[in-house]
Amino acid sequence: MSEFPLRASVAVSDIGRAVAFYEGKLGLEPLGSGPSAQIADGGRVYGSGGALALNVYQSATAGATSATLATWYVDDLDDVVDELAAAGVELVHYDGFGQDVRGIAPRAGGGRIAWIQDPDGNTFALESDT
């Protein structure tokens, strides 16, 4: 399987609200749209880092896990956190992770990490080696 591309898929409860978040707040560019179950325009495919990266689709299973679904590896975590905060994205704060007031924590093994959630509570990480 290691020779094939991998793309994360994320269930959302309302594709319109998801589009406002993923495109409007995160700035992801849609590469395509299509059906999801019985919803004619209920799915979007987004690119990140120059490749297909994320499939967002409307489903009754939206927000069913509290686990981190995908991680963006960024060069400058401070700049990315500032840009997201300016766009209205709130960082998630967890007890016991040693996060600063902005939501950035030291990462196990070095580097730093922060988390965001979409409107359905789907969790994504932002990581940096510095």
- 20-64 confidence digits (pLDDT tens): 999 999 999 999 999 987 888 899 999 998 888 899 999 999 999
pLDDT at position 34 is 92
pLDDT at 82 over 80: yes
Cα distance between residue 115 and residue 59, in whole Å: 23
Cα distance between residue 58 and residue 44, in whole Å: 9
Superfamily of the domain at 8-128:
2,3-Dihydroxybiphenyl 1,2-Dioxygenase, domain 1 (3.10.180.10)
Instruction: Please report, for residues 37, 40, 101, the alpha-carbon distance to residue 70 in angstroms, rounded to integers and kept in the order given.
Output: 23, 26, 23
Q: What is the pTM of this model?
A: 0.92
Virtual torsion, Cα 24, 113, 103, 130, nearest 10 deg: -100
In terms of DSSP H, where are the helices of 8-102? Answer: 15-19, 77-86
Phi then psi dihedrals of residue 116, to 5 deg: -130, 165
Virtual torsion, Cα 98, 100, 103, 109, nearest 10 deg: -50
Phi then psi dihedrals of residue 35, to 5 deg: -75, 155
Domain ranges within the chain, ordered by starting residue: 8-128
